[in-house]
Structure 1
Amino acid sequence: MPSFMTLPREIRDQICTCSILLSDTPPDTTRPSKELIEKRVQPATPSLEAWSKVVLYLPKPPNTCTTSLLQTNKQLYAETLATLDRLAANPPDYALDLIILDESLLLPTWTSVPVITNRVDTVHVSFRISGAYENRKKHRKLGSYQGFRGGDGAGPAMGWQLYAVLERFIKAGARGETGSPNTHMHVTAKCIRIDVQTPLVFGVERFGEWPSDVSGRRKSEGGNHVLEPDYLVAFVLSHLNGLLGGLDYEWFKYGQILFEHVDLIVVCKDGVEETRLDVATMLKELGDISDRRSYLEQFGNYKEDTMRLRKERGLKVLDE
């Protein structure tokens, strides 16, 4: 019976260097919208707090290529598990490709997941823009509240769609679906690195004009303008600051997922860093939450409790 050490060197190297990738190649953004969303689904579980969940995932969760090794024999099974334990002991990096399709839908694809774990070092998220906004009815069957159009006092749906991607990752990890609505894996990340990429297939003349602020974008139907990458950077930063700024409880209660699970968020454009948000520092500097609906009692000892929780999860903590 073969053991780990009698396997060919290239196979041993693949296992020991985290090359047990369980992921897909990034989709080609020049493909028609219909092809890009074909076979993608909206996972039913876990339950999410995001107001818009119009995010389409690949139907099959990642599977490691260690499955065959685990099924070979008892010795190889034990050695493979030991190797996976060592990999999990050192938080790995993940990579997520996130297509913003027709300014309406989000299509996430995990492109690198060395090992399934609830402790991740860095999540590299590439934002890629595909297609142009046509009309509000194009993808309506997937949900009426989507894209950069504002809702009933809820702001642009895209902010919530991006939040839904974050929430699903922290609650379910790279697998995306848990089978139970109440499952919460509490996945932590030392860093979430967002890179907004300028689409190379369009000339700058295709980029639409910026709105007066980042609270909304589309004022009319139709047109062939492509989402402006600089606007997308500003949009993402605005929503992250809203979640972490503690300006009022309505936003703060959604920002708690970051305070409790993330150390650092870096936002880049075409690989060049624009801003970094140190979550531990923002937690330390968090002041009183404005009492819009008498939520101050619920705020209570949140900072103290969360600092203790962060220590337990191996996250950065700045003492008061």
Structure 2
Amino acid sequence: MDLTLEDIQSASGRISGFINKTPLLSSSLLNQWLGHEIFFKAECFQKIGAFKARGGCNTLAWLTENGKKPGHIVANSSGNHAQAVAYASNKFGVPATIFMPEYSSKVKIQATRSYGAQVVLSKTRDITDEKVREAAQKEGTYWIPPYNHEQVICGQGTAAYEALCDLDDMDAVFAPCGGGGLLSGTLIAARGLSPQTKVMGVEPLRANDAAESLRKGSVQRLANVPDTLADGAMTMAVGDITFEYLKQLDGFYEIDEDRMVYWTQWLTHLLKCTIEPTSAMSMEGVVQWLKGQNPGKRVLVVISGGNIDQPTRSKIWESNYLDQSPSL
């Protein structure tokens, strides 16, 4: 089934009582330096500190609405999706077990437990994924995957939907790509609300399974867990559902780690909020695209989250990039 704007709108209505309508931010200084207008949909102010709350809440609300509320929820994630499902399960009164790899952010593991979910840690992502598949076989149990699920996609798309309802004449929207759920939802929302707006994806060069998949025309899987600061984009492969939407994107950018750190520092400084490297890397894609554009473009960037643990924070700030002002 091809999802439509109406599906995103339905999701928006379902989750309105469970999530925050997050603010749109901008920096006059950044706009002056670049010669374009950049708007940031700040999902770092979302419940659980990331857009993933939208997909988790929509899926459980949709199940409940259709008389299919499960007795138990399971999910697999290295971070924000784990918190999202734990939060949604808490709100809907459904017990949850979340399977996470041991290398997941300690902050995200702790937060997932704090919402009342049982957390099961495994040495690798593959073991984690196998355990959730086994758990999902039990009667009365429903598996909410991190991205490859239509109602998860619809929930994630409500972030761009909200923003594009408030902004006119946008030339482009950029969002990060992990498994492709946020980008798929963003594409559906943009195509329905603002067909002239280009939709662009961004992922780490060190975790570029989506870019490789797009180049080769089929879903490609990473051989090893990627070494990247963008822990929200460490998925081993995109899904078969999300890949069909990613193929419709207007552009896709692969970002070096140092540029990711550069924009994490600068966006934190300019917007005065906590921004994950996964979110910040989108800004490097914006800059690369703007280099070939006439001045005065209006661009939306989805800031996907703001959950950073201490080791990652230390790596981000071990070098100073704030003496190099942004420019084209």
Q: TM-score when scaled to structure 1?
A: 0.29
Larger relative contact order (CA 8 Å, sep ≥ 6): 2
Larger Rg: 1
Q: TM-score when scaled to structure 2?
A: 0.29
